[in-house]
Chains A and B, each alone.
Chain A
Amino acid sequence: MSVRHALLALLSEGPKYGLQLRQEFESRTGEVWPLNVGQVYTTLQRLERDGLVESDDPEGEGPQKGFRITAAGGRELAEWLRTPPETVPPPRDELVIKVLVALRVPGVDVHELIQVHRRHLVEMMQQYTYLKAEAPEHDVGLALVVDAELFRLEGVVRWLDAADARLVQVPAASPVAAPAVPPRPGRRLGVRR
């Protein structure tokens, strides 16, 4: 999440005080993307230094200082919105590696292992859906963020479902090809960004 561009977006609605920016940033993203509030002030300072925002009192400090977006800030925001997100090659997926490795480990029931991960993912999806279901219907921002997580997690569940089905077709006795990638400690399941 780019705090820098989120703040520019909030200021594109009109001039705001530092405290107000912090509160609006928190209320719009806080529940799903917790933020270190100190980051808001640091980022505002940098934006001012770079000429993307200006304040009514360049020497002053504190929550009552007012900010507005500059023309350069507006251009920066417009450009960022249209720039495709980073398209790095997909990271080695720890879950894929676990399932591949499990095929080679004697005594491991791969279907049972898949189910353990499926249950965990569905439980996470239940929490997100609950958040969406309990939120006021006009909270479109929250719904959009939650949907993004739900679609991502659903994709992982569907991969597990496909793996489960494929592995039924593979006779248990036949050795499965060694994993194409060696396992390496990576990101935790569900932690990406």
Chain B
Amino acid sequence: MTAVLELRQVSKVYGSAGPTEVHALREVDLEVGGGELVAVMGPSGSGKSTLLTIAGSLEEPTTGEVLVGGSVLSGMTRNQRARLRRRWIGYVFQDFNLLAGLTAVENAALPLELDGVGARTAHATGLAALEELGLADRAASYPDELSGGERQRVAIARAVVGDRRLLLADEPTGALDSVNGEAVMRLVRAACKRGVAGVVVTHDAQLASWADRVVFLRDGRVVDQTTRPPGAESLLTHGPNP
């Protein structure tokens, strides 16, 4: 089966050659399949956010290839890439990034409308996405009438609305308390269980622990990853004693 997202030897250099040159990513390989949630964990400046913007085709790698759904991004025109972003990829950021002048359902339906889907269909699909996340009764509310947890749920609805295959999240629980953060990660996990490929970048071990696989990034390089899928073994073999 083709990976939903594949990074092949991706490097990113900012600035011109010399002392101002910054190597944000160095020869990163990463493959994420449908139904899989991968966390990329690393300290500030390790290249996490660069990795996410490159995976989401918001930025181009200096060298290496990015494939989404098996298609090489560098072989596409600008318009093709924009269409891919609208149809395939959903983004969730720490600060929600909802449009203040749109209601919850309008925010959720926005990617579909931008893609030329009729207003009525887009609205119905947006509403279905909100329902899925338990927010149907808040559909007509504006972002400033919603709590932080609700805003992030709207952002997730927008990210998975329609038939998006790739969910990219940058510290999605950073602005939330731990209980609301957990609710958000349950939704991200549920979306992945339905077949979406998810990538979450974070410095937070608790957030990363929701993932099927954790990849560790340091100075722009993948240095390690977890090897035991969660649930594959009993905690009692190495858990705390009574």
Residues on B with C-beta less than 8 A from A96 are: none
Distance between A139 CB and nearest chain B CB, rounded to angstroms: 14
CB pair B242–A127 under 8 Å, yes or no, is no
| Chain B residue nearest to A124 in the complex (CB) | B238
Q: Can you list 24 pairs linking A and B with CB atoms under 8 Å apart?
A: A31-B235, A32-B240, A118-B216, A119-B214, A119-B216, A121-B205, A122-B41, A122-B208, A122-B226, A123-B226, A123-B227, A124-B235, A126-B226, A127-B233, A128-B209, A129-B209, A133-B210, A151-B206, A153-B205, A154-B205, A158-B205, A164-B43, A192-B240, A193-B241
- Chain B interface residue count, CB cutoff 8 Å, equals 32
CB pair B205–A122 under 8 Å, yes or no, is yes
Of residues 15 through 74 on chain A, the ones whose CB sits less than 8 Å from some CB of chain B are 31-35
Majority DSSP secondary structure for residues of A touching B: helix
Residues on A with C-beta less than 8 A from B186 are: 133
Interface centre among B214, B226, B230 (most CB of A within 10 A): B230
Distance between A135 CB and nearest chain B CB, rounded to angstroms: 11
Q: How far is the CA of A2 from the CA of B41 in the complex (A)?
A: 37
Interface size class of A (residues with CB under 8 A): 35 or more
Q: Which of B41, B209, B214 contacts A150 (CB 8 A)?
A: B209
A78 is an interface residue with CB less than 8 A from chain B: no
Known A-B contacts A161-B43, A191-B241; A129 and B210 likewise in contact (beta carbons under 8 Å): yes
Interface centre among A111, A128, A130 (most CB of B within 10 A): A130
Q: How far is the CA of A31 from the CA of B239 in the complex (A)?
A: 10
Residues on B with C-beta less than 8 A from A111 are: 218
CB pair A126–B241 under 8 Å, yes or no, is no
Q: How far is the CA of A154 from the CA of B203 in the complex (A)?
A: 11
B231 is an interface residue with CB less than 8 A from chain A: yes
Q: How far is the CA of A77 from the CA of B231 in the complex (A)?
A: 36
Distance between A94 CB and nearest chain B CB, rounded to angstroms: 15
Residues on B with C-beta less than 8 A from A151 are: 206
CB pair A34–B231 under 8 Å, yes or no, is no
CB pair A122–B214 under 8 Å, yes or no, is yes
Q: How far is the CA of A129 from the CA of B188 in the complex (A)?
A: 14
CB pair B206–A130 under 8 Å, yes or no, is no
Residues on B with C-beta less than 8 A from A130 are: 230-231
Of residues 119 through 149 on chain A, the ones whose CB sits less than 8 Å from some CB of chain B are 119, 121-131, 133-134, 147, 149
Known A-B contacts A32-B235, A127-B230, A164-B43; A115 and B216 likewise in contact (beta carbons under 8 Å): yes
B146 is an interface residue with CB less than 8 A from chain A: no
Q: How far is the CA of A100 from the CA of B236 in the complex (A)?
A: 29
CB pair A127–B226 under 8 Å, yes or no, is no
Q: Which of B205, B224, B225, B240 contacts A125 (CB 8 A)?
A: B205
CB pair A123–B228 under 8 Å, yes or no, is yes
Residues on B with C-beta less than 8 A from A161 are: 43, 203
| Chain A residue nearest to B39 in the complex (CB) | A122
A179 is an interface residue with CB less than 8 A from chain B: no
CB pair A34–B242 under 8 Å, yes or no, is yes
Distance between B53 CB and nearest chain A CB, rounded to angstroms: 23
CB pair B238–A154 under 8 Å, yes or no, is no
Q: How far is the CA of A190 from the CA of B242 in the complex (A)?
A: 12
Residues on B with C-beta less than 8 A from A1 are: 242
CB pair B238–A150 under 8 Å, yes or no, is no
Q: Which of B43, B233, B240, B241 contacts A149 (CB 8 A)?
A: B240
CB pair A127–B231 under 8 Å, yes or no, is yes
